[in-house]
Amino acid sequence: MDIQFVAADAAIPAKTAVARIVFEGDVHEGAVGEAVSASRFTGGKGQTLDILAPQGLGAARLVLVGAGKRDAFDLIGAEHAAATGYNAVKASGLETLRVEVSGGADLAAHAALGVRLASYRFDKYRTKEKAEKKPSIAKTLVATVDPDAALAAFPDLAALADAISFTRDLVSEPPNVLYPAEFASRVKALESLGLEVEILGEAEMMKLGMGSLLAVGQGSIRESQLVIARWNGAADKTAQPVAFVGKGVCFDTGGISIKPADGMEDMKWDMGGAGTVAGVMHVLAARKAKVNAVGILGLVENMPDGNAYRPGDVLTSMSGQTIEVVNTDAEGRLVLADALWYCQDRFKPKFMVDLATLTGAIIISLGNDYAGCFSNNDELAGNLLDAAKSEDEGLWRMPMPDAYNKQIDSMIADMKNTGGRPGGSITAALFLKRYVNDVPWAHLDIASTAWKKPSSVPTIPDGAVGYGIRLLNRMVRDKYEG
Ligand code: BES
Ligand code: MN
Ligand code: ZN
User: How far is Cα 74 from Cα 21, in angstroms, rounded to an integer?
Assistant: 12
For residue 11, the tally of other CB atoms under 10 A from its CB is 8
Instruction: Let me know how long the chain is.
Output: 482
- Which segments of 289-446 does DSSP mark as H helices, in order? 332-347, 361-366, 378-390, 424-433
* The dihedral formed by the CA atoms of 313, 317, 321 and 327, expressed in degrees to the nearest 10: -40
Give, as one character, the DSSP assignment of residue 267. G
The pLDDT, as a whole number, for residue 331 is: 98
User: How far is Cα 123 from Cα 137, in angstroms, rounded to an integer?
Assistant: 15
Q: Is the pTM of this model over 0.95?
A: yes
Band of residue 87 on the pLDDT scale cut at 50, 70, 90: very high
The pLDDT, as a whole number, for residue 57 is: 86
| Ligand 1 centroid – CA 270 distance (Å) | 9
The pLDDT, as a whole number, for residue 55 is: 85
Q: Is 360 in the pocket of ligand 1 (CB under 6 A)?
A: yes
Cis peptide bond prior to 454, omega within 30° of 0: yes
Q: For ligand 1, what atom is nearest to the CA of residue 302?
A: 11
For residue 128, the tally of other CB atoms under 10 A from its CB is 4
List phi, psi (to 5°) of 290.
-85, 70
- Average pLDDT over every residue of 442-466: 98
The pLDDT, as a whole number, for residue 482 is: 81
* The dihedral formed by the CA atoms of 280, 283, 284 and 287, expressed in degrees to the nearest 10: -170
From 270, 333, 408, 421, the mutation candidate for ligand 1 (largest count of ligand atoms within 8 A of CB) is 270
- Closest-approaching ligand to the CA atom of 368: 1
- Average pLDDT over every residue of 149-178: 98
The pLDDT, as a whole number, for residue 135 is: 97
- Closest-approaching ligand to the CA atom of 422: 1
Band of residue 54 on the pLDDT scale cut at 50, 70, 90: confident
The pLDDT, as a whole number, for residue 452 is: 97
Q: Is 361 in the pocket of ligand 1 (CB under 6 A)?
A: yes
The fraction of the chain above a pLDDT of 70, given in percent, is: 100
pLDDT tens, position by position, 361-386: 999 999 999 999 999 999 999 999 99
User: How far is Cα 282 from Cα 276, in angstroms, rounded to an integer?
Assistant: 9
The pLDDT, as a whole number, for residue 467 is: 98
Give, as one character, the DSSP assignment of residue 13. P
From 359, 368, 443, the mutation candidate for ligand 1 (largest count of ligand atoms within 8 A of CB) is 359
Is 82 strand, coil or helix?
helix
For residue 124, the tally of other CB atoms under 10 A from its CB is 10
Residue 43 pLDDT more than 90? yes
* The dihedral formed by the CA atoms of 132, 133, 138 and 141, expressed in degrees to the nearest 10: 100
Q: Is 180 in the pocket of ligand 1 (CB under 6 A)?
A: no
- Average pLDDT over every residue of 44-57: 93
Q: Which residues surround ligand 2, an ion (CB under 5 A)?
A: 252, 329, 331
Q: Is 359 in the pocket of ligand 1 (CB under 6 A)?
A: yes
pLDDT tens, position by position, 88-139: 999 999 999 999 999 999 999 999 999 999 999 999 999 999 988 999 999 9
Residue 335 pLDDT more than 90? yes
User: How far is Cα 146 from Cα 11, in angstroms, rounded to an integer?
Assistant: 16
The pLDDT, as a whole number, for residue 47 is: 98
- The mean of the pLDDT values for the chain is 97
The pLDDT, as a whole number, for residue 56 is: 85
Which residue has its alpha carbon closest to ligand 1 atom 7?
Answer: 360
The pLDDT, as a whole number, for residue 136 is: 97
Nearest one of 334, 323, 311, 320 to 408, comparing CA atoms: 323
Among residues 61, 333, 434, 477, the one annotated as catalytic is 333
Residue 53 pLDDT more than 90? no
